[in-house]
Structure 1
Amino acid sequence: MTFQRARNNEQRNQRRRQILDATAVMLTEMPVANVSLNELSRRVGLAKSNVLRYFESREAILLQLLDVELQGWLGELEHSLEPVEGSARERGDQLARILAESLAERPVLCDLTSAQAAVLERNVSAKVAVEHKSATLRAFQGLAGLFLRYLPELGTQDAFRLVGLTTLAISAAWPHGRPSEALLAAYAADPALAPMRADFTDLVRQSVEVAISGLLVRAENLPLGAEPLDEVPVQRWQE
């Protein structure tokens, strides 16, 4: 593919979309760590310096794709998360299961999320950081609203906290759920090590279940990152 230089905003936006589309295809073929500007440039038929006319860095491209993936997941959940009957614990466990299973079907989102804080946010300008975090905030607010629809007992702040805790669970569980060849060989050689082999879906489901249970019992309804209350009211839900 060969490009002529973009001469207006419409053409520049088209170039950006083509670069994003090519990167999205690459992410279906390789992990985030293997996505390089050199290979991306080759695929879109641009010199690396020209790719950098449209995005300031590899990380800026990947962060924008993460924003797209988050919006896609939010849209999917909007159609699949419907209020159900049952106790708070039953609904919480069902919500955790739905989230874990839907995430397992979105490997690109999980891979990008696992690289977000440690890698992708380290080589971008303040402008890109603001754009990315603003998009993430909108997605988190949308997810919190869906969680509240499923579990109104949480409260607005704790629903947002649950989104943050779910994101942390994705970040930790994704690499653990993809062991190296050496670890796979170790598990095969010694069956006693089987409990150490992590399954991504199970890790996320169990982590979110425990997070929901803790939020419901503590009933603090605090902003994400806030200090806990001095006296924690204990609320039991119907078993």
Structure 2
Amino acid sequence: MNQSFQRARSPEHKEVRRRMILDAAERVLERDGFNDASLNAIAQEAGVVKSGLYRYFESREEILLELLVADLQAMVAEFADDVTGPIEVARLGEMMAEGFISHPRLCLLVSRMASVLEHNITGDTIRAIKRRLNACAEETAQTMCRAVPHWQEEEARRGVMMLYVLVSGLYPMANPPAHVRDVLCEVEFRDSAMEFEPTVRFAAQAMLRGIDAMARARVEAG
């Protein structure tokens, strides 16, 4: 452990320290899993004493929320780059599903947000996090409207929220603990097993087709 770790004095140095801690958290989360990504483990990986982390983050939950936001921002940027003009709704659903599939850590953190990550955190911090998440949702909705020009932004925002809720519930069901997974392999329970990739692809397309049907009905009604 690096006992010479010094408190950053300038905003630039503080950001370097924060990035170092976040990089350590990424490695711990990848190596040890969500439940074992403790503040102690992150501090050890970063080479600092645990008390040093509190100079930059108020809790483990804030650190993991920062990773969630960074992953979501990356996914949103990739989606915006891929949508260069109008596309079929089925293709839009496929693209959005693929975005989540290609960011499994984001899916994991989203699935733990309401039940774990929004606890042990102050109102000011979660307020700042929510603003960044809302900005991501707004950018995604605008991209969806570019892909399907007859959609209104409110319709697109509903689609974003529905996909978020889908992933938050589906991901843990499709990635159960080992002992649950063993039971689901038994013949009696195989029909209860969920596979994330095919299910999220099917559900994303079904939800967006439903929104599109309502949007078309609105347009036809004038």
When normalised by structure 1's length, the TM-score is 0.83
Q: Which residue of 1 aligns with 2:109?
A: 112
| 1:216 and 1:235 in contact (8 A); partners too | no
| 2:118 and 2:126 in contact (8 A); partners too | yes
Query: In structure 2, how many angstroms separate the alpha carbons of the residues matched to 1:84 and 1:154?
Result: 11
Q: Which residue of 2 aligns with 1:137?
A: 134
Gaps of 5+ in 1: 86-90, 221-232
Shift in alpha-carbon separation, 1:153–1:27, aligned structure 2, 3 A: farther
1:194 aligns with 2:196: no
Gaps of 5+ in 2: none
Q: Which moved more, 1:158-167 or 1:44-53?
A: 44-53
Q: Which residue of 1 aligns with 2:123?
A: 126
Root-mean-square deviation (CA), in Å?
Answer: 2.0
Pick the aligned partner of 2:204 from 199, 202, 208: 208
Q: 1:37-89 deviations in whole A, cap 9, x for unaligned?
A: 0101111121111101110111111111111111110111122223355xxxx
Shift in alpha-carbon separation, 1:200–1:92, aligned structure 2, 3 A: same
| 2:101 and 2:197 in contact (8 A); partners too | yes
Query: In structure 1, how many angstroms separate the alpha carbons of the residues matched to 2:218 and 2:11?
Result: 56
Percent identity between the two aligned chains? 29
Q: Which moved more, 1:123-132 or 1:75-84?
A: 75-84
| 1:217 and 1:235 in contact (8 A); partners too | no
- Residues matched between the structures, number: 218
Query: In structure 2, how many angstroms separate the alpha carbons of the residues matched to 1:179 and 1:32?
Result: 13
Shift in alpha-carbon separation, 1:69–1:202, aligned structure 2, 3 A: same
Q: Which moved more, 1:34-43 or 1:21-30?
A: 21-30
Shift in Å, 1:234: 6.8
Amino acid at match of 1:181: A
When normalised by structure 2's length, the TM-score is 0.89
Shift in alpha-carbon separation, 1:120–1:234, aligned structure 2, 3 A: same
Amino acid at match of 1:109: L
Q: Which residue of 1 aligns with 2:172?
A: 175
Query: In structure 2, how many angstroms separate the alpha carbons of the residues matched to 1:198 and 1:216?
Result: 26
Q: Which residue of 1 aligns with 2:12?
A: 10
Shift in Å, 1:186: 2.7
Shift in alpha-carbon separation, 1:188–1:32, aligned structure 2, 3 A: closer
Q: 1:193-238 deviations in whole A, cap 9, x for unaligned?
A: 3332111122222222222122223339xxxxxxxxxxxx5778xx
